[in-house]
Amino acid sequence: MDRIVIDGSYGEGGGQILRTTLCLSAITGRPVRIENIRARRKKPGLAAQHLTAVLAAAKLCDADLNGAELYSKTLTFTPRAKPRAGDYLFDVAEARQGGSAGAVSLVLQTVLLPLALAEGDSRIILRGGTHVPLSPPFDHLHDVWLPIINLMGIRAELSLERFGWYPAGKGEVLLKTNGIGGGRGRLQPLNLPDRGELIEISGRALAANLPDHVAKRMAERASAILRQKNIPCEIAPVSIRAACPGAGIFLIARYERFIAGFSALGERGKPAEQVAEDACSKLLEHHRSSASVERYLADQLLLPCALAEGESVFTVDPLTRHLSTNAWVVEHFGIAEVEMISTSATAGLVRVLPKS
């Protein structure tokens, strides 16, 4: 079988190219070579969470590897078996001496689809950062991403066993899947040209190892902003324990036909109110648009849509470079065509047409 060569510097040039390539290589059995890995990032090459994703995907399909080491910019990945269901443990801290708070969400998004399409049930423990910058927080995966792909036919559930914030990490997530077998073509497509009316906003403000008033201030500021816009909301302040201090707010917008998620994380010296304002700004930007899918979710839906049994349609505002880059990777595997049709200066209609 011919090896697919992927240029990791294409488009946004980040880790999404690597994760999509690994996922599709495991599912299709196509060997790949990825060059210029994360070339457009400040520190190119495989960081701890990316190396963990490589090793995890390889374990699922007994892949032969070359270049699987920290900071490597070139990787060959050759599956030798179909993805196998089973019990797995993947710990980002093991990828780098001294540990790492690398995002478990990025590892999870690499392995979930291959296991969900395999024969049999799986139980996967993932350790590392659960609420860290530049990655979907656990709340987004649990409350938005997973419910949507479960609607498409995936059978999986997530639970948070321990919180993990930057820089200590040490969080833990449990993923369970009931494999549907049969590989690609078993998922239902998405048909979401519009989202319908807003029903409610819910969410939680989290503060780890910090005074209770931090979570309360985030929740109260977010509630005040949304109620000024006559948007009903229910945001709970929650104080928790973790390996290090951390804070963040996570908002879920429930529309008639879809769900959208928005978040912001605290930083040293950043007021709790500003964290809430940042998350509300993202939510309101999406709400003012007519898009069915928010910008942070759109590129994550391309893979399940490409593996579905029919055409998927959704709208997004804006059409991002992340989205077009992920579409480019999908099309390299020849499993689907992705059309992105501009409908305004920033928004567009996305059509994903799987190939038989």
**Cβ–Cβ contacts within 10 Å for residue 230, how many?**
6
Q: Is the dihedral of CA 247, 319, 355, 19 positive or negative?
A: negative
Structure tokens at 243: 């390996």
Q: Pairing between strand 171-180 and 119-128?
A: antiparallel
Contact at 8 Å (CB) between 236 and 212? Answer: no
Residue 207: name the closest of 247, 167, 243 by CA: 247
Contact at 8 Å (CB) between 247 and 275? Answer: yes
Contact at 8 Å (CB) between 60 and 66? Answer: no
Q: What is the CA radius of gyration of the chain?
A: 20
Residue 142 annotated in active site? no
Choosing from 50, 286, 322, 332, the catalytic residue is: 322
What does the alpha-carbon distance between residue 322 and residue 238 come to, in Å, rounded to a whole number? 32
Structure tokens at 178: 């009931």
Residue 228, C-beta contacts closer than 8 angstroms, at least 6 positions apart: none
Collapsing DSSP to helix, strand or coil, 250 comes out as: strand
Which residues are tagged catalytic? 322
